[in-house]
Chains A and B, each alone.
Chain A
């Protein structure tokens, strides 16, 4: 049993609140409990607390994205005993830890002519990757890191669609160029995001003929700089 663990939870109801606030909870918990079980435990005393009751749902803990199915022992091992729980996106917060993730869903449509419905399951697993990056708050058209990983998955599955997939990734306004390193923003990144996106960059830059004029310009610039 772990005594007096400090949870600080983001509270906000988009229908009633003008500003969010944080509420403190001190709990005695078991190491093997999951984050989801902890939230359910908190809700016994605070019935208005909202969260997705699903181990595959995702929130942020101490600014890192994390699935609710993670065990507390692993969390405390990384962050210590003061844990701040927030929704994946402040801007998209609807009710406490629940967000409206239409923007994440919409990015799947970019691949509607390539991916099958069965591929959607993999895309949905990447929600923690999408919201780990803050780039979409600067550039709403950015496809998202999740879409980059999804594109790589599709490239392996449908090699005959390579040109179409690479042109989505290589788009000047919304493409992979807008990826920022999120390795310190994802708790246990099982997707190996940075290395996979790095390899995709290489593939795009080295693809001949150039996928578009923008890639040609950028590749030339980079080559000149490294001469």
Chain B
């Protein structure tokens, strides 16, 4: 892999883009947790704080935004790291559209290449984890099963985010179907790699209203799950796990 070669040469990613203000009013913290992990892995990254924040929302993408990112990337020969699916999807779309040569990485791809270097002393034995994502789910699955997790692969259905402003009733019904299906299949928590899906699946109040049922199912990113395995907030997750059994 290119990254491994670069690392062998003593080079690291010069800069990465995480879409700091990706989509207004969305909870970005779980995705920013990747920085803590990248730090642990000693992968140097820098943040591009783009003011034109949006990549792919609903059906419109902002070509100016991508032009800025890619002009910068091409001029400075930087590699771009997307911390979640929507930015990865948008960046790949533009890469193809403008026939650009920049290299885009997805965080789960990078974590797959490096997770063995983490100091992990916990395991997900007896945990059923449901994966929801559209990119590199096979790699995510491989990482988690190496820590004894039992994986439940959710069929990839749209989370409804794109309808949030058009028909919220249907939007939350779509999201609640994903969450409740995961819950009903015995899942302990979900791993989600898309900020839009994360936003929808954490809207418990609306999901409860859409489905008429209450639910207490945590949603994490892969980075958060790996941080948990490193011992951070481990008590919190095991307490939840025990209370469910």
Instruction: Answer yes or no: do A and B interact.
Output: yes
What DSSP secondary structure best describes chain B's contact surface? loop
Inter-chain CA distance A39–B60, complex, in Å, is: 43
Docked complex Cα distance between A172 and B166 (Å): 8
In the bound complex, do residue A138 and residue B173 qualify as a contact, i.e. CB atoms below 8 Å apart? yes
Q: Give the number of chain B interface residues (Cβ < 8 Å).
A: 23
Asked if A218 lies at the interface with its beta carbon under 8 angstroms from chain B, I say yes
A167 within 8 A of B: no
The residue that A177 contacts in the complex, of B54, B155, B163, with Cβ under 8 A, is B163
Report the bound CA distance from A205 to B167 in whole Å.
Answer: 18
Task: Flag whether A221 is at the interface (Cβ < 8 A).
Answer: yes
Flag whether B234 is at the interface (Cβ < 8 A). Answer: no
Bound together, the chains give a CA A202 to CA B170 distance in angstroms of 23
Q: Which residues of B contact A179 (CB under 8 A)?
A: 59
| List of B residues within 8 angstroms of A184 by Cβ | 134, 156
B168 CB to nearest A CB, Å? 12
Count contacts between A and B, CB distance < 8 Å: 48
In the bound assembly, the distance between CA atoms of A184 and B162 in angstroms comes to 18
Chain A residues, CB < 8 A from B59 = 176-177, 179, 198, 201, 205
Asked if A138 and B54 sit within 8 Å, CB to CB, the answer is no
Q: Are A226 and B157 in contact (CB under 8 A)?
A: no
* Band of interface residues on A: 20 to 34
Q: How far is the CB of A63 from chain B (nearest CB, A)?
A: 6
Inter-chain contact B57/A225, CB cutoff 8 Å: yes
Chain B residue nearest to A205 (CB atoms) is B60
Type the 1/0 row for A93-131, where 1 means its CB is closer than 8 Å to any CB of B: 000000000000000000000000000000000000000
B158 within 8 A of A: yes
Residues of A within 8 A of B24 (CB): 225
The contact string, 1 if C-beta is below 8 Å from chain A, for chain B 119-160, is 000000000000000100000000000000000000111100
Q: A226 to B163, Cβ gap below 8 A?
A: no
Query: Closest Cβ of chain B: how far from A162's Cβ, in Å?
Result: 19
B165 within 8 A of A: yes
B109 contacts the other chain (CB 8 A):
no
B15, CB-defined interface residue at 8 Å:
no
Highest count of chain B CB atoms <10 Å: which of A177, A221, A226: A226
Report whether A181 and B52 are in contact in the complex, using a CB–CB cutoff of 8 Å: no
6 A-B residue pairs with Cβ-Cβ distance under 8 Å, sorted by A, are: A138-B173, A177-B163, A201-B60, A202-B60, A205-B60, A226-B62
B residues at A contact (CB < 8 Å): 24, 52-54, 57-60, 62, 65, 134, 155-158, 162-163, 165-167, 170, 173-174
